[in-house]
Amino acid sequence: MKKILEIYKTAKAPVYSFEFFPPKTPEGETKLFEAVEELSKVDPGYITVTYGAGGSTRDKTIRITSELAKKFSLPAAAHFTCVGGNKEEIRVILKQIRESGIENLMALRGDPPKGEEAFKKVEGGFGYASELISFIKEEGFDFCMGAACYPEKHPEAASLESDVDNLKRKVDSGASYLVSQLFFKNSNFESFLDLIRKKGINVPVIPGIMPITSFTQIERFKAMAACEFPEKLVSDLEEVKDRPEEFYKRSVNFSVNQCRELVKLGAPGIHLYTLNQSPASLDIVRELKN
């Protein structure tokens, strides 16, 4: 399996990648594989598979990441968090991941289990992604590790500056590239990029993009990621929120233009959050490649 940093180092064009999550049902899993099959038509650089809140999908994440990589001959990264595990448990899981043929990880702190509001460090475990990344390196695992970044700051961070200081610890610990939380204002990403470069963070930074498929998602994204929306985007989508075809057209058009601008700004690729659906992400990448 090719390592993701090498993909960015050797790419002659922007790298388009897709994120999926482990479904809860066999039917959902069938639909996931169908979505990946559709999206494989645009030759993605790699795919990623998330980890459920509280590590609830750990085994499924490992299995699905490995199966998708083999079935579609795609480089793949499994999300991995430090939620609910001490060092010994984490060491065992890392061995399982490596033995499954996975060479790429997205190393994250992770979200608290369902029903819990705050993250709680397990005794003998880790409280930050930077600690997890350091441990993986110290244990001699040769994973290529990505980490998350937040152009509009992590919701729990006191300030963007303190969040960037924490981000530098992740990179100094061994993160090879960064994938951003979703955002909709490129000016915020550009300012963030300028700030982290001044702090000496020089690894590839990949914008994370989420196509809007329904108007109700806007408020959910604001609450989930504390992201800012362009007023014109909101008004344009609100105008057609009860006209699905026109809503889809305007949303995809916005994402295409957003991605084009990001590539012009120097983004080495675009990471699309698919929600296990292929149409919007497929249309966006097809338009970008054209």
Cα atoms found within 13 Å of the Cα of residue 52, Cβ hemisphere only: 14
CATH of the domain at 20: 3.20.20.220
Q: How many CB atoms lie within 10 A of CB 255?
A: 24
Clarify whether 116 is annotated catalytic.
no
State pLDDT tens for residues 69-85.
Answer: 999 999 999 999 988 78
Burial class, 39, CB count within 10 angstroms (exposed 0-12 / middle 13-18 / buried 19+): buried
Cα separation of 142 and 103, whole Å?
A: 7
Of 6, 19, 67, 161, which one is the catalytic site residue?
19
pLDDT of residue 114: 66
Cα separation of 60 and 52, whole Å?
A: 9
Q: Which domain holds residue 116?
A: 4-289
Q: How many CB atoms lie within 10 A of CB 118?
A: 6
State pLDDT tens for residues 235-278.
Answer: 999 999 999 999 999 999 999 999 999 999 999 999 999 999 99
Total of domains in the chain: 1
| Diameter over CA atoms, the chain | 55
